[in-house]
Amino acid sequence: MHKLEDRTVVLGVSGGIAAYRACELCRLLVKEGARVAVVMTEPAARLVGPATFQALSGRPVEVGWGGASSAAGMEHIDLGRDADAIVVAPATANTLAKIRLGLADNLLTSSVLASRCPLVLAPAMNTRMWENPATRENLAWLHTQARVWLVGPDQGPLACGEEGAGRMAEPAAILEAVCAALRPADLAGARLLVSAGPTREAIDPVRYLSNRSSGKMGYALAAAAARRGAKVVLVSGPTALPVPPGVEHVPVSCAAEMAREVKSRAGRCDALLMAAAVADFTVARPARAKLKKDRVQGPLRLTLVPTEDILASLGRARRGRRPLLVGFAAETGDPVPAAKSKLEKKRLDLVVANDVSEAGAGFEVDTNHLYLVEKDGVREIPPASKEACAERILDRLAERLKTRR
């Protein structure tokens, strides 16, 4: 089945070297059945000939302020109004800044300003431009916009000869984001509770025990679920991530707080996705004042006591309607046997397992390689971005919730 049948997608190409890779994206969009209207900025048209996009899309290509297909001279409004989605690839630092400010100085930016449809942005630029505080601020704002889907950039060698973040995401990943943006809201009406990030167990007022969880997987799940129509509460340990648009955020610090906030809400949700890396042990008696090293005689001993296993407690609860319980198992080595045992021991409905020792599948990276372990078998999610993994997990969750209703 063609995922974009009968959909009109505006492909905005701004002037970065990656413009030539937008040709492949154009081909993929057409292959999925989309009507593709290509709009190029003047600098983009100096990098790749409009005729190439015209041949790939089978339609006239607009450059600069356009004019090729305008009947009434209202193209700057028409394109954005008629589009089901707009994808800007590559989105240069300059074009991102204009979109953030609401500038409309060419057909591409005016179409974006005059539209309400999903907007997929694939940034591509030199690493220093990407890291510039002005770009960071623009990106932070764009992240808060419910209709904006950001894809990439990837790390790698750049056209300028440097190496780093700034390479446009793969065309296949951008296509995936366009398809996700146009997916029907299959989680509308569902109430999801997502936990994310690490916990911090205090040793004294300035020190704590924690772990390497970045929170990326849980945040990606919360963001994707909200986009798919769910009402999402995100109970999160400390992370450096922005709260996804439309998501209610409940910040917590230690395992005990996480337990309190999750358990008090679990009865009111349809599914609990426990992506947080909750500490299994906490410090028995944290010091009330800062520990001074010259007051410690010999080795410093900390007594650690087990924390409450939140999922296991909820799995045991018999009274009332219990939510679908989804656990996460970050293992070293084959994660499936451990996930199967957690599924059974904690009485869960699904365990999402990964091998954190595998390259590109663990903490602090943007990709994952997962196994969905359930009573009836194991489904593999091949290596993909955490965002794409989140969509696959939610595909399965949506199926499970449907059979439950």
Site residues (vs ligand CTP, CB under 6 A): 255, 274, 276, 278, 280, 307-311, 327-330, 342
Calpha distance 127→159 (Å, rounded):
11
Instruction: Give CA–CA dist 384/367, Å, rounded.
Output: 5
Q: Rank residues 148 and 330 by Cβ distance to ligand CTP and give the closer one.
A: 330
Q: 85 or 310: whose CB is closer to ligand CTP?
A: 310
Q: Peptide bond preceding 153: is omega within 30 degrees of 0, i.e. cis?
A: yes
CA-to-CA separations, 24 to 15, 28, 75, 89, 311, in angstroms, rounded: 16, 6, 25, 11, 45
> Nearer to ligand CTP by C-beta: 24 or 308?
308
Q: Give min distance, CB of 141 to ligand CTP, in A.
A: 32
Shortest Å distance, C-beta 280 to ligand CTP: 5
- Taking the complex as a whole, the smallest distance from the CB of residue 341 to ligand CTP amounts, in Å, to 9
Which residue number, 108 or 343, has a Cβ lying nearer to ligand CTP?
Answer: 343
Q: Is 108 within 8 Å of 41 (Cβ atoms)? A: yes
- List residues with catalytic annotation: 160
Please state the closest distance from residue 307 (CB atom) to ligand CTP, in A: 4
**DSSP characters over 195-263:** EESB--EEEETTEEE-----SHHHHHHHHHHHHTT-EEEEEE-S-SPPPPTTEEEEE--SHHHHHHHHH
Report the residue closest to ligand CTP, judged by CB: 310
Of the two residues 11 and 389, which places its CB atom closer to ligand CTP in the complex?
Answer: 389
Q: Using CA atoms, how far apart are residues 120 and 84, in angstroms rounded to an integer? A: 11
Q: Which residue has the tokens 């505006």?
A: 10
State the minimum distance, in angstroms, from the CB of residue 242 to ligand CTP.
22
d(CA 274, CA 278): 9
